[in-house]
Structure 1
């Protein structure tokens, strides 16, 4: 199977390597040069994507992120990266026999912020412009590929670095409320995305999270205790954030290794 990756960052690289080991042919599209020798890398602007000389594409992964080196505002960058890119990509793929297209979005499309429980059956209701733009992107892809499109909504993605949490542990003396945090390890996200390619009858969308929502102050407090740092004081019992449950992901049979 010939698989095209549109956007080739850390997550895409992990997915592509897994699929290459299974014998698939991989082509990538990115803004900067890539050097993986086993894959074909195309340096293109997705707004003017040209796939006319590319071998027939059977499956597509879309994993885009706004450039950090931009003069655009966050909203403008989201509009350009997620929404404005759909039409030129669809146009470039029109002559390719795409059987599945997996588009990575975000749980930001769920605007709940008072400790509510969210699952795959929850209707997305964004509470900010960026979330609205992500949901608009999802709808555009589903309209373009109603049978082939699968939307994946990861919660907070983390990896091997602990620098951010260590900095919070060292600097946090108090926390204003109970804020629920939801996470998925980048390797588990990559494993699920690779797994989805081989699910015979996928759902239209999947939340991707480790199903272990935790109050952020408890995560910080645990590190403070492990390092004998001064312990934070929780100032209030009000709940913010949301508790996210990835039921469809679990039902698909995928196994998580970082929980």
Structure 2
């Protein structure tokens, strides 16, 4: 099969590597296509530039993925964040669809990586593909991008991914190293959801080959978890990976630890992967335990 991966970055490269190993002809599209996995054919194009995309689009594509991310930093302004999300999730898919139509192509399926950021639930409730979506801020561009994709003339699937971690993305593990433990359960558990990069790639490959997929899936591992539960697991199973707490941290740190864990999380929900699992996908890293253990093993010694 001839496969295009637009926005071929962290997840896209893992997917590309997987598909190349299976014998597919894979094209990786990004502005600077250097450092793509071996065997991936580079496409130097900008999906926010319709003319650039028209010129660079390969012919006779069977499957098209759009796996772009906003690519913003903590120093980005609100205006820059808005533009980055709009470009990645709305303008990119729109330009791809227009280019495919104008070139007379008829891919078997388009696939988009969206985000569980479309959910604003804050009471620790379970959410799935049928749950209410009322995102605030940049989350509205995720939904708009899904609508663009699913409203196109081509068969399409959107995969809403939870927080992605893996090689080179160890933020959640690093926070668990520092998280203060008191032995007391949280009075109000605050759940986080995640998925390993390799399961992002595996799920996308699975949905590409599935005979009759649903238009929407939620991509998260089996176990929504709290900062407490992750830090406790780390302390019990990998104490060498914990950062030593100072007396000052032990005295006042739990409140500040919770504050730092929650400062960038305005939602509190548990994401169900039942539809994805029911479609036949088997997770490589079913929970954070297997995933974080693999990261620790990779850095050991």
Q: Measure, in 1, the Cα distance between the counterparts of 2:22 and 2:64.
A: 16
2:262 corresponds to = none
Q: Sort the Cα spacing of 1:177 and 1:73 in 2 relative to 1 into closer, same or farther, 3 A.
A: farther
1:108 corresponds to = 117
Give the 3-state SS of the residue equivalent to 1:26 in structure 2: strand
| Residue ranges of structure 2 left out of the alignment (5+ in a row) | 259-265, 287-301
CA deviations over 1:38-93 (Å, ceiling 9, x no partner)? 22211111122125762211110000112337775212211222222233221111
Q: Contact 2:176–2:227 (CA<8 Å) still a contact in 1?
A: no
2:10 corresponds to = 10
CA deviations over 1:94-125 (Å, ceiling 9, x no partner)? 12121100100001111101111112221322
Q: Contact 1:178–1:240 (CA<8 Å) still a contact in 2?
A: no
Give the 3-state SS of the residue equivalent to 1:85 in structure 2: helix
Give the 3-state SS of the residue equivalent to 2:284 in structure 1: coil
Say whether residues 1:194 and 2:205 are aligned partners.
yes
Alignment counterpart, residue 136 of structure 1, candidates 137, 144, 151: 144
Q: Contact 1:3–1:60 (CA<8 Å) still a contact in 2?
A: yes
1:152 corresponds to = 159
Q: TM-score, normalised by structure 2?
A: 0.76
Q: How many pairs were matched up? A: 255
**1:247 CA drift (Å):** 1.1
Q: TM-score, normalised by structure 1?
A: 0.87
Provide the alpha-carbon RMSD of the alignment: 2.7
Alignment counterpart, residue 77 of structure 1, candidates 75, 78, 84: 84
* Matching of residues 208-219 of structure 1 within 5 Å: 208-219=219-230
